[in-house]
Structure 1
Amino acid sequence: MNTHVKQINVEQANALVQFWNQTLAPKFVKYRHIIEGGLSRHSEAVMPLLDVRAGDHALDVGCGFGDTAIELVGRVGTNGKVLGVDCCDAFLDIARSRSEKMFLPNLRFENRDAERDLVEAEYDFVFARFGTMFFTNPVAGLRTMRRALKPGGRMAHIVWRQREDNPWLSDARDVVRRFLPPPGPDAQTCGPGPFSMADEKVTRMQMEAAGFADIEFRRIDAKVNVGRDVEDAVNFQLAVGPAGETYREAGALGETRRAEIEAALSKLFEGVIEREGGLWMDSSSWLITGRNPRSAS
C-alpha cells in the first residue's frame, strides 16, 4: 500500500472515531438500557459456547459499557486477566465506574482503536460483540485482532445476520424510508454498518484473508429488547441504527416530518407484544470463531 493510500485510510479511521465520540456515543449512552440490556439474550446464548479457559489473558474488542468484559473475567478466573478496549471515552467512563469493576483487580479498560492499536501476540482469547461490523477496513481490522493472539490463540466475534432475520432494525428503517430518502454517498455513518458481515461466504473470505484458521459459523437466534414501551422504542430507532442514520442525515426534512414518522413507527411497535417489562423482537446473529495458526505471520 502506498503512502498516499495509507494516509487516506488513517484519516478515514480518525474521522470515524471522532464521529463515534461526538455524535453516536451520547445517543448510545442515553439508550444504554436498550444497547446493553437489549442484547443480554445474545450474550447469554453465546458466552457458554466460547472457548475461554481459566487463566487466559483475554481481550474484549469494542467493549462498550463493559458488561461482556466482566462476564469474561468470570470465565478466566482469578489467575487470568481481561482487557476491554473501545474508542469511545464515554463508554469507557461507564465501564470503569461499574460497581462490579471494584471487585475485579484483573480487569482493565483502555481507549484503543482496535483496527490499529493492539499489542501483538499478547492474548489467548480475543472477543468482540457486535463491533467488527463497523471496521472501516474489515480485513485489516480482523488481521490486527489475529495478530494480537498468541500462536494458537482463539477468537470469537458476534455479528448480525441478514436484514430479513433482524426485523427489530430493518422494519423501522423501512418505515422511516417511506418518508425520507436514504443517506447519500457522503453521509456520516457508523462505518460499514450492522449488516456488513451478514453474508457467511464474504465474511469467511475476510477471516481467511486476515489469516484465521478453523473458521466456524454458528447461528444464534434470540429476542432483543427494543424499548421499555412504544414511545421509548420509537425514540431509540430515531437515534441510532439504520433508521436513526436515515433520520439524522435527512436534517431539516426529517424534523419537518417527524410527527408523521413517529406515528408510523408507533403503529409498528404497537404490534409488538409487551413482556418482561419491555418490547422484545426477533433477531439473529452469527457467532464466528477462528484460531491464530501457530505458523501465522
Structure 2
Amino acid sequence: MAQTVGSGGNEYVEFWNEVLVPKFVRYKHILVGGLTHHSARIFPTLSVKEGDKVVDVGCGFGDTAIELARRVGPHGSVLGIDCCDEFLDFGRREADRARVGNIRFVEADVQTYPFEAAHDFCFSRFGTQFFENPVAALRNMRQSLRPGGTMTMIVWRQIEDNPWLGLPKEVILRHLPPPGDDARSCGPGPFSMANTDVVTKQLEIAGYTDVEFERIDAPLMVGTSLDDAVAFQLALGPAGEVYREAGELATQRHAAIVDALQTALADYVTDEGVVLDSSSWKVSARNPG
C-alpha cells in the first residue's frame, strides 16, 4: 500500500498531479531514457558506498532510487520520496520486477516530511528546482542526514546552456506570446537553481557546509523521431508552458508552430533519435551535524 505523508494543500503539488503527471507518463521514454548519457556521467561520481542509507528526493519514476538501491546493496537502504504517487507506482512495479527489495517509496512533501536523521547520503536529480520554499526544503533534506552526511543534487544550468529546452522555446515565441504573470506553474522552474551564488547562499542558510559545484555536460534525447520530439516540446518544458498558456491562439497557429519546430529540430536527428546538448550542475554539500 502506498504511504502518503503531508503531500496535499500545495498549489504546485496540485499542478503536478493535475496537469503534469499525465504528460510525464506519456513521455516517460524521454524523461527517463533520454537522460541516459547525463546519468551515466553522474552516477559513477556519487559518494555512495555499500551499506549506506540513502534518501532520493523527487525520485519520480524511481529509476534513480533503484540505481542507488543497487549501489548500496542488501545491507543498505533507499527511501524514495515524491509528491506524485502515480510516479511512485512505476517505481514500485519496476523495483518488484528487478527484485530490488531494499527500497521504500513514499508520497510526501519534502519540505515537511519527518525524516529520521540517520542517512549517509541524500540525492536529488532535477527534483529540487520546483520547491515552493527552497531553503525550507533543503534544510529538511539536511535533517535526513547523519552528522557528516552528504547531499548531492543535480540541477539544470541556465536555459542558454540547455538548447534541448531553450531552442524550442525560442522557436515557439516567434508564434505565441510569453505566459502572463498569472500562469499556473509547477514551482520556481527548471532553471531556478542555475545561479551558483544564489544556491550557495540557500545551502548555507539551510545549514550546509563544504558546498561544491561540478559542471556536467551531456547529450540528451528529446524524441525518438521528429514528430515525437515536437509533441514532447508542446507538452512539457518552457515551450510547452508557452503553448499551454496561449490557449485558443496556440490551437489556431498549431500547424505553423509544428512546422517551425520540425525545421529547427531536423538538424539534430541521429540514429538514437533527436538529440541536443544539455548542461547541469552537480551540487554537493555536507551536513556538519
TM over 0.5: yes
Question: Could you tell me how far apart the structure 2 residues matched to 1:239 and 1:150 are?
Answer: 40
SS of residue in 2 equivalent to 1:133: coil
Asked whether the 8 Å contact 1:118–1:145 carries over to 2, the reply is no
Asked whether the 8 Å contact 2:7–2:109 carries over to 1, the reply is no
Alignment partner, residue 269 of structure 1 = 265
Alignment partner, residue 176 of structure 1 = 172
Alignment partner, residue 283 of structure 1 = 278
Q: 1:164 aligns with which of 160, 163, 171?
A: 160
Asked whether the 8 Å contact 2:59–2:80 carries over to 1, the reply is yes
Distance 1:76-1:176 versus aligned 2 partners, 3 A rule? same
Distance 1:39-1:30 versus aligned 2 partners, 3 A rule? same
Asked whether the 8 Å contact 1:12–1:136 carries over to 2, the reply is no
Read off the aligned partner of 1:61 and give its amino acid letter. V
Read off the aligned partner of 1:142 and give its amino acid letter. L
Alignment partner, residue 20 of structure 1 = 16
Displacement of 1:180: 1.1
Aligned length: 284
Q: 2:74 aligns with which of 72, 75, 78?
A: 78
Instruction: Give the aligned CA root-mean-square deviation in angstroms.
Output: 1.6
Alignment partner, residue 293 of structure 1 = 288
Q: 1:60 aligns with which of 49, 56, 63?
A: 56
Question: Could you tell me how far apart the structure 2 residues matched to 1:59 and 1:30 are?
Answer: 26
Question: Could you tell me how far apart the structure 2 residues matched to 1:229 and 1:185 are?
Answer: 34
TM-score by length of 1: 0.92
1:50 and 2:43 matched = no
TM-score by length of 2: 0.95
SS of residue in 2 equivalent to 1:290: strand
Question: Could you tell me how far apart the structure 2 residues matched to 1:36 and 1:233 are?
Answer: 14
Residue identity (%):
55
Read off the aligned partner of 2:278 and give its amino acid letter. S
Alignment partner, residue 242 of structure 2 = 246
> Segments of 4+ in structure 1 off by > 6 A?
10-13
Question: Could you tell me how far apart the structure 2 residues matched to 1:185 and 1:12 are?
Answer: 24
Distance 1:36-1:132 versus aligned 2 partners, 3 A rule? same
Question: Could you tell me how far apart the structure 2 residues matched to 1:232 and 1:213 are?
Answer: 43
Read off the aligned partner of 2:115 and give its amino acid letter. V
Alignment partner, residue 5 of structure 1 = none
The unaligned stretches of length 5 or more in structure 2 are 1-5
Alignment partner, residue 33 of structure 2 = 37
Alignment partner, residue 6 of structure 1 = none
Distance 1:257-1:48 versus aligned 2 partners, 3 A rule? same
Asked whether the 8 Å contact 2:226–2:269 carries over to 1, the reply is no
1:230 and 2:226 matched = yes
Q: 1:259 aligns with which of 240, 255, 258?
A: 255
Displacement of 1:275: 2.4
Displacement of 1:256: 1.1
Displacement of 1:101: 5.0
SS of residue in 2 equivalent to 1:279: strand
Alignment partner, residue 147 of structure 1 = 143
Distance 1:118-1:271 versus aligned 2 partners, 3 A rule? farther
Asked whether the 8 Å contact 2:7–2:107 carries over to 1, the reply is no
